[in-house]
Amino acid sequence: MTSPISYADSGVDIDAGNKLVKSIGKVVAQSLQRKGSMSSIGGFGGLFDIKAAGYKDPILVAATDGVGTKLKIAIDTGFHETIGQDLVAMCVNDLLAMGAEPLFFLDYYATGKLENHIAEKVIAGIAKACVECNTALIGGETAELPGLYHEGDYDLAGFAVGALERGTELPLTLQKGDVLIGLPSTGVHSNGYSLARKIIAKSGLRWEDIAPFDPKRTMAEAFLAPTALYVQSLIPLIREGKIKAFAHITGGGITENLPRILPKGFDAEIDLTSWELPKLFQWLGQTGPMIASEMLKTFNCGVGGVIVVSENDVDEVLDQLKITGQNAFKIGQLISGDVEPSVKYLGIDDFETAIKPVSVLASEVGKVKKTAIGILISGRGSNMVALLDAMQSPDYPARCTIVISDNEDAKGLEIAAARGIKTAIIPNAHNMSKAEFETQLNQYLEDAGVEIICGAGFMRVLSKNFCEQWKGKLLNIHPSLLPAFKGLNTHERALESGVKFTGATVHLMNEDVDSGQILDQIIVEIDQHETPESLQVKTLSQEHILYPRALRKYIQNGLKG
C-alpha cells in the first residue's frame, strides 16, 4: 500500500503559517488599538466601526499597491525589516491625495516556501508602519505557493481603506497662483527600481559597498531607505482645509503625477533650482546615464509629494510641516495652461548639469581586483565583522558576497544583513546528511560566485570530499597556536598545560579538525592570573587583527604568505 500523502508533503506547511500568526501577534495587536478597530487576530474578516472612529457622514476611500522590484533588493541582501513600511506608505499616501485619513490596512504576502524568520520581519515592518499612521492592520493573508515562486522569493501587496467627511474630498477648488510645496522624499521610495537596479548593476557596485554618493551608507542602505509616510504631517492640515490638493509622487515622477490633481486649463510651473537634487539621484542620472526629462518622469528626484496651498497659507503650512519633521520647500505655482494639464519646468539646464556623466565613475577609482569571499558562521560572527570591516577599504583585495550559517539564530546573520550582505541559512542543518548539507552549501557558494571560503566560528566539520573540492580555498581561524590545543575548550587546556604563550591561527581547512596547513599566527601572552574567560577575550581581539591580515596575505602572495 502506498503511504498517505499530506499537505506538508506538497510544500505547504500549515503549522509554519500558524506559528507566524502567533509570533507577529503583539505588534499587530498594537495597531488594533486604533479607535474604530473591532478586530482580533485570527477571524475570517476584519471589522471596523467608522462611527467609533469619529465620522458622521463618511465617504470611504480605498487604495491598493505593491512595492515593485525594491523587493528584489530586500531578498538579495536579506534585509527585510523596512520593506513593510514601503508597502504601507505606497497605499496610505495615495489615500492622502484624496483627502482621506487611513483607517485600516490588509496585507498579502505570497512566497514559494514560508520562512518564518523572514515573514516575521516583513509583517512586523507593516504593522509598525500602520502604528505610525494610526491605522489598524485588521487582516492579512500569507500564501505559500510552491512551484509558483522560487524558494527564497516573496511578493507583497497591500490594501488601505480610509475615510473623509462628505464634501471634503481633495482636490478642493484650485486657483492660478496657488503655491506648490514639495515634501522631501527619503530616497527612491518604491518606484523606478527596475531601472535603478539596472544602473546599479552597470556600475559594478555591490550592495555591501559604500555608496559613492554617501560615505555613511552602503548601497543597500541607500536603496532600501523606506518610503516616507506623510500621514501624520498632512492629516491635521488637510482637516483644517489648508491643503487644497496633494499629489503622491510615484511611478511617473512629478511629470506624470502632478497633472493628476490639476483641473483642465491649469499647468504646474516647477522651478528645478528650488531644491538640490539629492546626491543619490545625481549618481543615478550620471551613471545611467539619463536625460533630465527621463529622470523627472521616472524617479521622484527628491520630492515624494507635492501639496497645493493658497499663497496666504504658505508660511503657516511650512511652519506646521516643520514641527512634524518635514522640511518642505516651495517649488512652484499653478499657472494657466492648455486644456490638458502638464508640468512646465524652469531651470532644466541646472538639472542637466547635475546629472551630467563624470568621465570616470567613482566606483572605478583605484579599483583593485576583489576576490569573492563566502563567510561561514554559526554564532555571533565577530571574526566575520573584522573581515567585513577590512573589506570596506578600497584597496583590500576581497569582498564578501555571502554569509552562510547552519544556525538560524546566529547573531552574525543579522549583522551581515544590516550591512547589506546576502545571507543564507541551511535550515535543519543538523537533521540532514553531510552530503545533503554540502550540496546546498555548494549551491549558495556557486550562486554568490565565491572564490574563497572563510570559516569564522563555523561549528561543523566538512567532509573530505568538500575539502578536496575547495582545496587551497578554504580558510579557518582557531584560537590557539596550532598544532597545540586543537578542537574545543582550547583556553582551558592551554592554561592547564602551563604554557606562557598562546594565540590564534589562520589555517587551510581539511577534513580533520584544525589540522590543515598553517597560514598565519598571532601570539597572546598568558598572565599570571589568567582565567579561561579572560584568555578568550584577549585572544578574540587578536583574532580580529589576524584574520583580515592573513586573508590579505594569502590572496596576494598565496602560500608564500
**Which positions are annotated as active-site residues?**
478
Contact flag: residue 37 with ligand GRF (CB under 6 A): no
Minimum gap (Å) between residue 377 Cβ and ligand GRF = 6
Give the burial string for 376-391 (b: 16+ CB within 10 Å, else e). bbbbebbbbbbbbebb
Residue 253 · residue 300 · CB < 8 Å = yes
- Which is nearer to ligand GRF, 52 or 513 (by Cβ)? 513
Give the residue with the Cβ less far from ligand GRF, 219 or 376: 376
Residue 520 within binding range of ligand GRF, rule CB under 6 A: no
Q: Is 479 in the site for ligand GRF (CB under 6 A)?
A: yes
Alpha helices in 157-229 (DSSP H): 193-203, 219-224
Q: How far is the CB of 467 from ligand GRF (least distance, A)?
A: 16
Please report, as a single letter, which amino acid is at residue 94: D
Cell of 309: 496651498
Choose, by CB under 6 A, the member of 245, 540, 546, 550 that binds ligand GRF. 540
Do residues 526 and 494 lie in contact, with contact meaning Cβ atoms separated by under 8 Å? yes
Instruction: Give yes or no for residue 383 binding ligand GRF (CB under 6 A).
Output: yes
CB-based closest residue to ligand GRF: 457
Round to whole Å and give the CA distance between 267 and 346.
13
Instruction: Decide: is 46 part of the binding site for ligand GRF (CB under 6 A).
Output: no
Q: How far apart are the first and last CA of the chain?
A: 63
Q: Interface with ligand GRF by CB under 6 A: which range of 174-182, 301-309, 344-352, 474-482? A: 474-482
Residues 122-161 that bind ligand GRF (CB under 6 A): none
- Residue 134, phi-psi category: left (phi > 0), alpha (psi -120 to 50), beta (remainder): left
* Amino acid at the residue 380: R
Q: Phi first, then psi: what are they for 363, rounded to 5°?
A: -70, -15
CB of 514 to ligand GRF, least distance (A): 9
If the CB atoms of residues 279 and 380 are measured against ligand GRF, the closer one turns out to be: 380
| CB distance 378 to 458 below 8 Å | yes
Q: Is 423 in the site for ligand GRF (CB under 6 A)?
A: no
d(Cα 539, Cα 454) in Å, to the nearest integer? 18
Q: Does 185 bind ligand GRF (CB under 6 A)?
A: no
**Among positions 36, 58, 212, 457, the unique one binding ligand GRF when judged by CB under 6 A:** 457
Residue 403 interacting with ligand GRF (CB under 6 A): no
Establish if 478 lies at the interface with ligand GRF (CB under 6 A).
yes
381 binds ligand GRF (CB under 6 A): yes
DSSP 8-25: GGGT--HHHHHHHHHHTH
Applying CB under 6 A, among 75, 417, 456, 482 the residue interacting with ligand GRF is: 456
Give the rounded distance of the alpha carbon of 404 from its chain centre. Answer: 18
- Rule CB under 6 A: is residue 380 a binding residue for ligand GRF? yes
The DSSP symbol for 48 reads B
- Contact residues: ligand GRF, CB under 6 A: 377, 379-384, 456-457, 477-479, 540, 543
